Amino acid sequence: MSPVPGGPVAAVVVTFNRRDLLDEALTALHGQTRVPDRIIVVDNASADGTPAMVRDRFPDVDLLELPCNVGGAGGFSAGTARALAGDAGLVWLLDDDTVPGPGALQALLDARTRAAGHDGPPTLIASRVVWTDGRDHPMNTPRAKPRVPAAEAETARAAGCVPIRSASFVSVLVDAGAIRERGLPIADYFLWNDDFEFTTRLLRGRRGLLCPDSVVVHKTGTFGGADADPGDRFFYEVRNKIWLFTGSRGLAPPERVLYAGSTIRRWSRTFARSSDRTVLRRALLRGMKDGLFSRPRPTAALLRDVGVEVPPHAGDAR
């Protein structure tokens, strides 16, 4: 395996009670034309035999078993901390229902090399995410970067990529140095908007790209966007968006206004399509209360509670 500019690649997969999907995802990771140097699986206290399956089928995987479910946000934060505690130079973040095509990682690495400029390589590169039938998955479309400088746009075009402002944890390759500088995903988000907050924070003033040549399949149960009916989980969408708009350093003031407006429109579509607006209304009120009158617990403290040590400074979301 040839050395990678930027250092070894650690793949981080977070899972909870999806043993069969995880099996498929790990099989695909081991089948890459360029296999990650390290694969870390974070198990959120699954009760379906997931840890036993990983130990039996994938003994080379670094399995981090958490004592309780800390959600996707806590899981990615824990897994990324584990990667940073090692020698990772690049961290590839993936969901447990993500099945990367054989050349997905190699395409990300190649694009990273092609897109290197006077400021070095881009901070992160996201894969193209499709559903099981090959259509682009609307749930995981990165937000395009507005007002891209001409030189940056040309560098991206020459690399066969598109400049982006945010990405999802379905499949994104991130520079470990940027994480050490600007902090881990905020663990207390638990669910939703953790990837948006994290990637906008890392990308503020920096470059991120979508690489269409890197293709992964996101095997969600249905095909749809982020405005599908979430039920009680709408609480996390509301609370976390308020936390993000009022406390995160990921967005500049004009961006907060722009994204707040798009959020309100999306919430309106969610209500319009909901089969039980009473549930959504209750979740909205709870989310607003918690978002306005509480702040996320420190990530380093939350991870220590589940036995994960955080490298110095990496737990500070700056």
Helix (H, G, I), strand (E, B) or coil at 3: coil
Residue 188 lies in a domain: yes
The residue range of the domain holding 83 is 9-227+297-305
Q: What angle do CA 7, 9, 11 make, to 5 degrees?
A: 160
What CATH number corresponds to the domain at position 215? Answer: 3.90.550.60
Question: Which pLDDT score is estimated for 3?
Answer: 53
**For residue 235, how many other CB atoms are within 10 A of its CB?**
25
Residue 265 lies in a domain: no
Residue 180 lies in a domain: yes
Residue 90 lies in a domain: yes
Residue 143 lies in a domain: yes
Amino acid at 310: V
Residue 23 lies in a domain: yes
Rounded to whole angstroms, the maximal C-alpha distance in the chain is 56
Question: Helix crossing, 234-247 with 277-293: angle to 10°?
Answer: 30
What's the domain count of the chain? 1
Residue 236 lies in a domain: no
Cα–Cα distance for residue pair 168/214, rounded to 1 Å: 14
Which phi and psi (to 5°) does residue 100 adopt? -75, 140
Mean pLDDT per 10-residue run, the chain (318 residues)? 72 98 98 98 98 98 98 98 95 98 98 93 97 89 92 95 97 97 97 96 97 96 73 95 95 93 91 90 96 96 96 79
Whether this prediction's pTM lies above 0.85 is answered by yes
Residues facing residue 173 across a β-bridge: 92, 125
Residue 30 lies in a domain: yes
